[in-house]
Structure 1
């Protein structure tokens, strides 16, 4: 009897039930379509087809010197008397600048990204002889404020929705404005050159948002010129060659 009663009620309101189900189906379909449309929407379509666009960037470099020891260092290492160990340390810096991007071809851009970098590279002299006659570890820190002028080529892969991976490579001239600061100090103070050119290459990902393009990039930089300026002092004599080396995490906003 109960089942018959329920069936009669459903039969009585069958039109209303069918209408509610149709409305629910249409609402579900509309919501799904709207979600799909949001997923498939291309933010800033045609942005990379512009002949020129601009932006800025912030970067955190992990930086150090690549060090080549001198013959004097090897000789004192082979001696039976206490000797000094000379090694470089990795430190964190900061640089920032502007972006000028010029489209060359469908997947190729030229980029000029001038900026200013702040570095503090360190060299450790372990077991170094002090004026007091004691031996202890001593760090030499070389502070640099560098005007950098990178010229890069950017090869872009095909865009997938709002993502586009890319490769970048080029050269980066740099002029150190902190020469006077580096040259100051006692007779053990290391001295460095003021000019360098670095070979750079990296990988990144363009992420398109409705109002701008964001790109995290990992870039490697290898200095080509010897930065060591011989002074004839003890610490300087242990070093044959110094070259700059950076691994940078860069955030572009274009």
Structure 2
């Protein structure tokens, strides 16, 4: 499959997003350090039973592949290897955060995730065939958030949980099924991550990194030339997020001195 100019531009924009995240984190962290040492922003924010926010993220994703027994048969004499490739994508979603205990929250984050997933089919005569899938998934991460003690306007946290997902575009009917690598509609992954809460006067800003381990085999049961020789395909991804969170009374609160 040939990649359109749109996707070439998408790669560039994805890199710009990731670079922008890093620069933004540095700028806001510097600004926070410049605040008066005695200023405590949003003093009771994390004690709210529920608060809301949104997230954006840039991710690098790839298939994790396991060959089938057919790969070593004579039918594959001309295929040297099938290799996953790293591709960039982005995510956008909402956050609903439930506070349960002093240091433990449960977070639900409905998210639309735009993937590019590729395989390189390398042949013994030197030719390489690039197969690219560009599915969009609706994901529903359910995550436990364990927070450190707040240090003025900063706190570190750890995340872990499950993410069920359903494919909402990029289905098999977009082309003849014999001409594409087909992937299943549903996926499930384990997510682990770490982040930093930065409390601002009117909202909480959090840069975060998260790794996702696919649990389900997303290779479609319908076999064709692209799937012969493959037994399992799992989706793994590394994502850089930025989140912005507020609450029902956030904008009525003022910073106080302690």
TM-score category by the smaller chain?
0.7 to 0.9
Q: In structure 1, list runs of 5 or more residues that go unmatched.
A: 1-34, 129-133
What CA distance in whole angstroms lies between the structure 2 residues aligned with 1:216 and 1:36? 19
How far is 1:37 from its partner?
8.4
Counterpart check, 1:189 vs 2:180 = yes
**1:226 matched to which residue of 2?**
217
Match of 1:51 among 36, 39, 49: 49
Larger mean Cα displacement after TM superposition, 62-71 or 229-238 = 229-238
Counterpart check, 1:159 vs 2:150 = yes
What CA distance in whole angstroms lies between the structure 1 residues aligned with 2:173 and 2:231? 18
The TM-score with structure 1 as length reference comes to 0.78
The TM-score with structure 2 as length reference comes to 0.77
How far is 1:39 from its partner?
1.5
Please provide the CA RMSD for this pair.
2.2
Is the Cα contact below 8 Å between 1:188 and 1:236 reproduced in 2? no
Match of 1:90 among 61, 83, 86: 86
**1:216 matched to which residue of 2?**
207
Counterpart check, 1:119 vs 2:110 = no
How far is 1:179 from its partner?
4.5
**Residues 197 and 37 of structure 1: CA distance in aligned 2, closer, same or farther (over 3 Å):** closer
Is the Cα contact below 8 Å between 1:43 and 1:210 reproduced in 2? yes
Deviations 1:153-208 (A, max 9, x none): 10000001111000011111100012535762462411110001111111000011
Q: How does 1:56-75 map to 2 (within 5 A)?
A: 56-75=54-73
Q: State the aligned residue count.
A: 213
Counterpart check, 1:100 vs 2:96 = yes
User: Which of structures 1 and 2 has the bigger CA Rg?
Assistant: 1
